[in-house]
Structures are given as C-alpha cells and as structure tokens.
C-alpha cells in the first residue's frame, strides 16, 4: 500500500507554489495548463466521487461536448500548439503531476477535495487524478500521420 503524505500549506504558500509552477512554463503552455486545471477547480463534489467510483475521466467529459464548446475549441488549439512544439508534452508531463493537481483540488476546490477524502481511498483518488492527467495529455497529443 502506498502512503500519501499530506503537507499543510497556507493559502498564500499554495498560491506561490502554483504561480511559480505556472510561470516556469513556456508562455504557450500557461493557458493550456490553466484550462486543464479548470476541470479540477470546477468539478462538483458529487461528480468527482461518481467519476472516481465509475472510472469516468476528463476524456469522457471531452467526448460528450459539442464541437463548438469553448473547452473543445481550446483543446483543439492546444493540439496545434503541441503539434508545432512536441517538446511541450514532456514539459507538461514533468510539471503537471498528480501531487500538484491534488493541491489544486485541496486549495481551489476544497468542498470537492473534502468530499473525495471522505468517500474515496487515497489510492483511488491518486489513480483518478493520474488517469485524468494522462488522458488530458492524450487529448492534446496530435494524431500520428496528420
């Protein structure tokens, strides 16, 4: 069993960590990372618990959207950016980690974080976050041969 250490930060310390990470990204990646984090900032508690329990991810949400939805349009643009600069994917993978996303949930969506902690094991929560990150990266990865 994996142990997940939890470090308490002040909201100000969290903000400094978040801002430092986002500022360290290539300029074209900053809006992309903010868009990815928006999923975790805005997910409602019940939706998060259902997503974990029923193995739903950001990809399921993405696939349910119409082609004209702003989120789908933004990710289409992100795919173009990544196609032009494939090295951006490696930077995203290195900096947008499950631990960072867990902090986003904890400090920017505390009600959802608390509900998840009360209803889902730490292992399942980390796995769900990891899968969401992987699938987000998969969504913005250009198709081979196109």
**What are 91-124's pLDDT values in tens digits?**
988 999 999 999 999 999 999 999 999 999 999 9
The pTM of the full predicted model, rounded to 2 decimals, is 0.83
How far is Cα 131 from Cα 57, in angstroms, rounded to an integer? 7
With cut-offs at 50, 70 and 90, classify the pLDDT of residue 133. Answer: very high
Range of the domain at 28: 11-139
Q: What is the pLDDT of residue 119?
A: 95
Q: What is the pLDDT of residue 128?
A: 94
Query: Is residue 6 situated within a structural domain?
Result: no
Query: Is residue 3 situated within a structural domain?
Result: no
Per the structure, the count of domains in the chain is 1
Query: Is residue 31 situated within a structural domain?
Result: yes
Q: What is the pLDDT of residue 71?
A: 81
Q: Is the pLDDT of residue 74 over 90?
A: no
Measured CA to CA in angstroms, residue 37 lies from 22, 31, 103, 108, 109 at distances of 11, 10, 11, 10, 11
How far is Cα 51 from Cα 93, in angstroms, rounded to an integer? 22
Query: Is residue 115 situated within a structural domain?
Result: yes
Tens-place pLDDT, residues 39-58: 899 999 999 999 999 999 88
Query: Is residue 101 situated within a structural domain?
Result: yes
If one compares 131 and 1, the residue with the highest pLDDT of the two is: 131
What's the DSSP call for residue 32? H
Query: Is residue 134 situated within a structural domain?
Result: yes
Query: Is residue 146 situated within a structural domain?
Result: no
Neighbours of 136 (CB within 10 A): 25
Query: Is residue 50 situated within a structural domain?
Result: yes
Tens-place pLDDT, residues 4-39: 556 788 999 999 999 999 999 988 888 888 878 888
Q: Is the pLDDT of residue 136 over 80?
A: yes
Instruction: At 119, list the tokens.
Output: 């209803």
């Amino acid at each position: 069993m994996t142990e997940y250490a939890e470090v308490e930060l002040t909201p100000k310390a969290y903000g400094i960590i978040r801002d430092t990470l986002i500022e360290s990204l290539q300029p074209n990646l900053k809006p992309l990372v903010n868009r990815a984090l928006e999923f975790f900032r805005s997910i409602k508690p019940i939706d998060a618990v259902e997503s974990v329990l029923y193995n739903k991810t950001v990809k399921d949400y993405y696939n349910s959207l119409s082609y004209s939805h702003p989120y789908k349009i933004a990710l289409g643009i992100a795919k173009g950016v990544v196609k032009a600069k494939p090295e951006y994917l490696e930077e995203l993978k290195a900096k947008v980690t499950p631990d960072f996303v867990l902090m986003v949930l904890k400090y920017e969506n505390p009600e959802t974080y608390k509900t998840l902690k009360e209803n889902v094991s730490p292992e399942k929560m980390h796995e769900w976050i990891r899968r969401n990150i992987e699938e987000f990266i998969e969504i913005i990865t250009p198709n081979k041969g196109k």
